[in-house]
């Protein structure tokens, strides 16, 4: 079956369809990873986007559920040069074609992905329509230009209820803006008692979970589309150690008074060099974001730049001058070969230990006694919805 990809500038690509039949619109982006297409497909940060893989052969090792970064894919379309229909790997459970069919995602192969990537690099990301229909191009283009891209990606991918991943050590509240499973794996591997909360959990709801630290997850879209998040982070800043990743990094910056802006075509891939300004060491990182913290907006805030991108010098890491809080733009839980950046989780745990030593808490019994005589019998408002078994 034929499939077509139409860009808002009128460029039309015609290729072979795979996956589901139908039609979808989204922001057309590209990923430069040579491997990891399964992690790309299941990364919630791609919600609302039509993803182009620059590596020419995709699907050769199939799909394995154990490697998923979320329960289901959220992408709006998948574009490849060559789609391998018969994967060869002992772990393979099914093919990309069957995965896309299962979740109603349209795929296209057999187009010049190098040309598409060069268009995006030159003109920037743009809207696109992926379809298996035979509609006239003029009608498609008119509809595409009138279509507004979604801005509620975070609410679409965030958990709707609280759930826990029990551990015996530090309790970490993970605020889910579109969290990858790798973040939970890295925390539980270190014995953390992880509690995942929705993106709109209030500061009081988070406090009642009695966390030792708070992790702000990755997620899709513009950080300014979730304005409530920056306010909640600002309220909790200084009360608990905070670690932000990707979208969490941008929201942390907004909470501290900095600003963000959209990149021309973003950073998406597993081969982005990042320089640690403290150690002067360069790391190869996995990235997926279309926005960045504006460098000039850092002046006048209490933030220090700790990492920069060696390609375009954009900000890749921040640290608060006085509060126990830091963030990175890239994905330390991802392993595009090396595990170089996993030390950041260890730094977060060390920060929690140091904060607890410097700020010992009063025994819980003392808090109960102090609160005696208050309106404790009144029902609490705004309780979180907990996952049911």
pLDDT at position 131: 97
Tell me which of 54-58, 169-173, 230-234, 367-371 is least confident.
Answer: 367-371
Q: Which residue has the tokens 């803006």?
A: 177
Tell me which of 9-18, 25-34, 39-48, 361-370 is least confident.
Answer: 361-370
Q: Inform me whether the pLDDT recorded for 365 exceeds 90.
A: no
Q: Which residue has the tokens 């608060």?
A: 320
Pairing of strands 163-165, 57-58: unpaired
Q: What are phi and psi of 236, to 5 degrees?
A: -90, -10
Query: CATH 3.40.50.880 occupies which residues in the chain?
Result: 154-367
pLDDT at position 98: 96
Q: Inform me whether the pLDDT recorded for 378 exceeds 60.
A: no
Q: How far is CA 174 from CA 216, 231, 318, in A?
A: 6, 17, 19
Respond yes or no: is residue 122 known to be catalytic: no
Neighbours of 8 (CB within 10 A): 16
Smallest Cα–Cα separation from 226: which of 196, 260, 195, 181? 260
As given in the structure block, the two tokens for residue 102 are 């299962």
pTM: 0.93
- Would you say how long the chain is, in residues? 389
pLDDT in tens, 195-219: 999 999 999 999 999 999 999 999 9
pLDDT in tens, 160-190: 999 999 999 999 999 999 999 999 999 999 9
- DSSP states along 56-116: SEE-TT-B-GGG-SSSS---SEEE-SEE-SS---TT--B-HHHHHHHTT-EEEESS-HHHH
Q: Inform me whether the pLDDT recorded for 377 exceeds 60.
A: no
Whole-number Å distance between alpha carbons of 244 and 348: 10
- Residues at the annotated binding site for L-glutamine? 45, 219, 221, 247, 250, 288, 290-291
pLDDT at position 311: 95
pLDDT at position 376: 44
- Residues at the annotated binding site? 45, 219, 221, 247, 250, 288, 290-291
Which among 76, 267, 320, 331 is annotated as catalytic? 331
pLDDT at position 301: 96
pLDDT in tens, 252-283: 999 999 999 999 999 999 989 999 999 999 99
pLDDT at position 337: 65
Q: How far is CA 331 from CA 7, 75, 97, 122, 257, in A?
A: 29, 19, 27, 26, 23
Respond yes or no: is residue 333 known to be catalytic: yes
Average pLDDT over residues 117-127: 97
Radius of gyration of the chain (CA): 22
pLDDT at position 178: 96
Which among 69, 246, 256, 289 is annotated as catalytic? 246
Query: CATH 3.50.30.20 occupies which residues in the chain?
Result: 2-150
Q: Please report, rounded to a whole number, the percentage of residues in the chain having pLDDT higher than 70.
A: 95
Instruction: Say if domain 154-367 classifies as CATH 3.40.640.10.
Output: no
Which among 27, 39, 316, 333 is annotated as catalytic? 333
Q: Where are the alpha helices (DSSP H) in the chain?
A: 37-41, 96-102, 113-123, 137-146, 153-157, 181-189, 203-207, 227-236, 247-255, 343-358, 364-371
Respond yes or no: is residue 296 known to be catalytic: no
- HSE of 241, CA atoms in CB hemisphere, 13 A: 21
Instruction: Say if domain 2-150 classifies as CATH 3.50.30.20.
Output: yes
Whole-number Å distance between alpha carbons of 86 and 103: 20
């Amino acid at each position: 079956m034929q499939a077509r990809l139409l860009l808002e500038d009128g460029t039309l690509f015609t290729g072979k369809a795979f996956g589901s039949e139908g039609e979808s619109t989204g922001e057309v982006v590209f990923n430069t990873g040579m491997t990891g297409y399964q992690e790309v497909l299941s990364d919630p940060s791609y919600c609302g986007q039509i993803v182009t893989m620059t590596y020419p052969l995709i699907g050769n090792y199939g799909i394995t559920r154990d490697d998923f970064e979320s329960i289901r894919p959220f992408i709006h379309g998948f574009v490849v040069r060559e789609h391998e229909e018969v994967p060869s790997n002992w772990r393979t459970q099914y093919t990309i074609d069957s995965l896309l069919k299962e979740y109603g995602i349209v795929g296209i192969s057999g187009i010049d992905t190098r040309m598409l990537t060069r268009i995006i690099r030159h003109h920037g990301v743009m809207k696109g329509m992926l379809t298996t229909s035979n509609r006239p191009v003029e009608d498609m283009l008119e509809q595409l230009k009138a279509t507004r891209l979604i801005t509620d990606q975070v609410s679409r991918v965030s958990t709707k209820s609280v759930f826990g991943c029990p551990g015996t050590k530090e309790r970490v509240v993970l605020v889910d803006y579109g969290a990858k499973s790798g973040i939970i794996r890295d925390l539980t591997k270190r014995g953390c008692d992880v509690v995942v909360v929705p993106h709109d959990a209030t500061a009081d709801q988070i406090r009642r979970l009695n966390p030792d630290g708070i992790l702000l997850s990755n997620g899709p879209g513009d950080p300014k589309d979730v304005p409530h998040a920056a306010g909640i982070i600002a309220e909790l800043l200084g009360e608990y150690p905070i670690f932000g990743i990707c979208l969490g990094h941008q929201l942390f910056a907004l909470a501290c008074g900095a600003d963000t802006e959209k990149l021309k075509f973003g950073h998406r891939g597993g081969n982005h060099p990042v320089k640690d300004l403290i150690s002067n060491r360069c790391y190869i990182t996995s990235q997926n974001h279309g926005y960045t913290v504006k460098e000039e907006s850092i002046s006048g805030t209490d933030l220090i730049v700790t990492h920069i991108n060696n390609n375009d010098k954009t900000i890749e890491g921040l640290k608060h001058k006085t509060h126990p809080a830091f963030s990175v733009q890239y994905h330390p839980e991802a392993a595009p070969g090396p595990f170089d950046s996993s030390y950041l989780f260890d730094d977060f745990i060390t920060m929690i230990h140091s904060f607890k030593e410097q700020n010992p808490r009063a025994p819980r019994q003392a808090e109960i006694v102090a609160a005696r005589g208050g309106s404790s019998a009144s029902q609490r408002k705004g309780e979180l919805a907990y996952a049911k078994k």
